[in-house]
Chains A and B, each alone.
Chain A
Amino acid sequence: MTVPALEDLLRELAPQVLGALVRRHGQFENCEDAVQEAVLAASVQWPADGVPDNPRGWLTAVASRRLIDQVRSDRARRERESSAAVAEVPAEDVPDTDDTLALLFLCCHPALTPASQTALTLRAVGGLTTAEIARAFLVPEATLAARISRAKQRIKAAGGTFSLPGDAEREERLRVVLQVLYLIFNEGYTASSGSELDRADLAREAIRLARVVHAQLPADGEVTGLLALMLLTHARREARTTAAGDLVPLDEQDRAQWDGALTDEGMDLVKASLAGPSLGPYEVQAAIAATHADAATAAETNWAQVHALYLILERIAPNPVVTLNRAVALAETRGPQAGLDLLATLDADERMAGHHRLLSVRAHLLEKAGDPAGAYDHYRRAAKATASIAEQRYLESRAGRVRARTTPGDRRP
């Protein structure tokens, strides 16, 4: 078995084994540690000795042994009977597909910060090792290990249980799960800082987890919408950057490089979700991505539809960044000045003060409106405000381009 295939197998089995263990013993924190150790042992032993005939049984047996050792040593240390003794029972091998969803709800417990939710989800449900997650987030392994162990303590203190939330809570808790998956995807799509633009592994992992949730809840429009949004966005990854790592904006991307299979799958999911009874923010964002995917060239984009969708999004999930994006679509249908007028309404919003996206969109619209000096000024300010080197390089190059069109007398200091 190749290393990637082996990793895939481990990542698929890890939550099943964890679910079975927690079902039998409770003690989510200890079980989660034990499964992590079993995954580590497998990643060392399987490539050398071959994959066992029953890999899930192997992992369950090793994890159970680790759990028993852990409980025994805890008990020895405390020198008293543990109330949560672990019985030595042979490992059953019955995967319960609901387990993954229950684990996701637990790892995305609302008592945790998003950074802790993502780390714990990737380890407990994604089956990734602490070292892999630490590398993806560019932090030391010890930092990440501390974050995960703190997260598990928090869940315990908050009374989190390994079960599917009741109907009253379910909708809200599912939103948190989807948000965590979206965060993981985004982290993989664009590094929030640093020179590495695309950490595709995290994006793929987020898509894999979204598929798992979608398989469990195929009728949920937002789950479908999120998966579609991820697929349609991921389809563009090859076209988003040049070989040198420079950003290519949507209107300049070579659409032949978009992944057709991912696009088709995403489009089908969008159609399915839009046929549903209600409309959520991920569904609308997926519909916007689908509108772009529908256009063979940037010039053929149905901007009126994009604008209408942003209007809906603004209504159901008001957010200044949505208004910012609507301004781009408005500028395409009604001219740059209409877009600039809409941007002006964001100036008073303190969430957007000095935000590099507001500066860069304004620069872009000023450029279209024939004000190269103003565009230059805003591109430069946006370049200073961003924390992404790739974006900074892109904004500097746009600034250089408009500067060439200004006459020296027009240049602002």
Chain B
Amino acid sequence: MQFLISMVINPSVLDALTEEEKTALGEGHGRFIQALKQSGELITTQALVDPSQAAVVTVRNGQPVVTDGPYLEAKEYLGGFYLVDCEDKARAIELAAQIPDAAIDGLGVEVRQVMFADGPLEA
């Protein structure tokens, strides 16, 4: 079963971390990625640029209109994700609990099963 584990982050929470805490966060993700690769559960992981760099695209009367993002004004936004293939939802939750963000107040880690997938898998 495939699951998207997404990390909902809040920049002010991240900014308030000490240097040591930030280093520990990065190293925690590094270890998590290594372990997932070895167990054969990682499909891919990606982190996204700051939402201030987002472009919102709409098409009206057939004409695309592009405005500076993000689409939703919120304190939290999608910072990145892990796409994993694992035994079941319980295992996905177990994996999510190993993501360092899960132990930090104000950062969200969310697990959702994939329902449809297409495209080259190794993209």
Contact = CB atoms under 8 A, between A and B. Distances in A.
A56 to B, nearest CB: 30
A392 B40 CA distance: 29
B123 to A, nearest CB: 9
A142 B121 CA distance: 10
Interface string B60-96: 0000000000000000000000000111000000000
A298 interface: no
B6 interface: no
B2 to A, nearest CB: 6
Contact of B1 (A116, A192, A389): A192
B113 interface: yes
B116 A194 contact: yes
B115 A115 contact: no
A142 B122 contact: yes
A83 interface: no
Interface residues of A, number: 29
Contacts of A137: 85
Contacts of A138: 2, 85, 117, 121
A143 B115 contact: no
B87 A143 contact: no
A115 B122 CA distance: 20
A392 B116 CA distance: 12
B36 to A, nearest CB: 9
B116 A389 contact: yes
- Could you tell me the dominant secondary structure of chain A's interface residues? helix
B87 A114 contact: yes
A146 B43 CA distance: 11
A159 B115 CA distance: 38
B42 interface: yes
A146 B117 contact: no
B43 A113 contact: no
A140 B43 contact: yes
Contacts of A114: 87
Nearest to B37: A146
A143 B85 contact: yes
A150 B39 contact: yes
A194 B115 contact: yes
B38 interface: yes
Nearest to A153: B38
21 contacts: A113-B87, A119-B40, A139-B2, A139-B43, A139-B85, A140-B122, A142-B122, A143-B40, A143-B41, A143-B43, A143-B85, A145-B40, A146-B40, A150-B39, A192-B1, A193-B114, A193-B115, A195-B118, A387-B1, A389-B115, A389-B116
Given A138-B85, A150-B38, 14 more contacts: A113-B87, A115-B86, A115-B87, A135-B121, A139-B43, A140-B121, A142-B122, A143-B85, A146-B39, A147-B41, A193-B1, A194-B114, A387-B1, A392-B115
Interface of A: 113-116, 119, 134-135, 137-150, 192-195, 387-389, 392
